């Protein structure tokens, strides 16, 4: 029997990370943030000044990268021995991840790493292609969504809380732009799968979403006997 996987996909700002972390904690599963992996590789390419149009060089870079995800007091990403957990959240990194995310050879390397987590643990994994590419046989697939307005508002409040300047209309434009890139890329685009459960979180609290997912997990367990 393969370890249980809860695959959570959806657009940026739908609340995947927040919800997935809590669900994993409550169930005692490992939480895996695959976006962090794409971000870490993007950061490395930026630091090394690699031209994002140079696919060959990017692939070589990834082949020569050591990346670890682990959890102590917080979730950490260690890139070639350095903790980059904070740095990968920067706006410049978000803007450039689509280059890395659209290269098949790089995705294949990451898919392999991502699939390895299931060998030893039950997992909650979030991203864009978890149900479609990483674990098409995941026991529970969730597509987490929210309206563009709501996702922009959440991002706006996050920035405000950090004391950073934020313009809601500007953020909305960025959200729309990121959706386009995630949904329209040729390789592993974000899709709503027929076997995924669609959850619109626009009018739900984090606790309500967590509860729904945990109930779905128990239903799946009971139905598979
Ligand atoms: O979830 P996030 O915003 O941290 O993801 C960062 C970027 O990585 C985002 O632009 C989409 C991409 N990504 C992806 O292509 N596939 C995944 N499984 C996760 C993220």
pLDDT digits 0-9 by tens, 39-89: 999 999 999 999 999 999 999 999 999 999 988 889 999 999 999 999 999
Number of residues that make up the chain: 225
Please provide the average confidence, as pLDDT, over all residues in the chain: 95
Cβ–ligand 1 contact at 97 (below 6 Å):
yes
- Supply the pTM of this predicted model: 0.96
Helices (H), 14-122: 16-27, 34-47, 55-63, 91-101, 104-120
Distance 35 CA to ligand 1 centre (A): 4
Residue nearest to atom 5 of ligand 1 (CA): 35
Place of tokens 């997935």: 20
pLDDT digits 0-9 by tens, 92-141: 999 999 999 999 999 999 999 999 999 999 999 999 999 999 999 999 99
Place of tokens 């597509």: 143
The pLDDT of residue 91: 87
pLDDT digits 0-9 by tens, 157-196: 988 888 888 899 999 999 999 999 999 999 999 999 999 9
Instruction: Of 52, 204, 16, give the one whose Cα is nearest residue 124.
Output: 16
Phi-psi sector, 112: left (phi>0), alpha (psi -120 to 50), beta? alpha
């Amino acid at each position: 029997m393969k370890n249980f996987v809860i695959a959570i996909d959806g657009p940026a700002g739908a609340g995947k990370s927040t919800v997935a972390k809590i669900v994993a904690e409550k169930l005692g599963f490992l939480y895996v943030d695959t976006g962090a992996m794409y971000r870490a590789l993007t950061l490395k390419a930026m630091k090394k000044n690699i031209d994002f149009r140079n696919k060959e060089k990017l692939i070589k870079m990834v082949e020569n990268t050591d990346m670890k995800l682990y959890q102590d007091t917080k979730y950490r990403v260690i890139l070639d021995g350095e903790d980059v957990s904070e740095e990968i959240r920067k706006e410049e990194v978000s803007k450039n991840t689509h280059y890395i995310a659209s290269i098949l050879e790089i995705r294949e390397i990451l898919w392999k790493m991502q699939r390895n987590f299931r060998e030893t643990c039950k997992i909650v994994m979030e991203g864009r292609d978890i149900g479609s590419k990483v674990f098409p046989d995941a026991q529970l697939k969730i597509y987490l969504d929210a309206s563009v307005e709501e996702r922009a508002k959440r991002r706006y409040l996050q920035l405000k809380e950090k004391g950073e300047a934020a313009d809601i209309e500007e953020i909305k434009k960025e959200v729309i732009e990121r959706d386009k890139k995630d949904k329209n890329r040729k390789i592993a685009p974000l899709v709503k799968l027929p076997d995924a459960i669609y959850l619109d979180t626009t009018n739900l609290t984090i606790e309500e979403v967590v509860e729904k997912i945990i109930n779905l997990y128990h239903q799946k367990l009971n139905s598979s006997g």
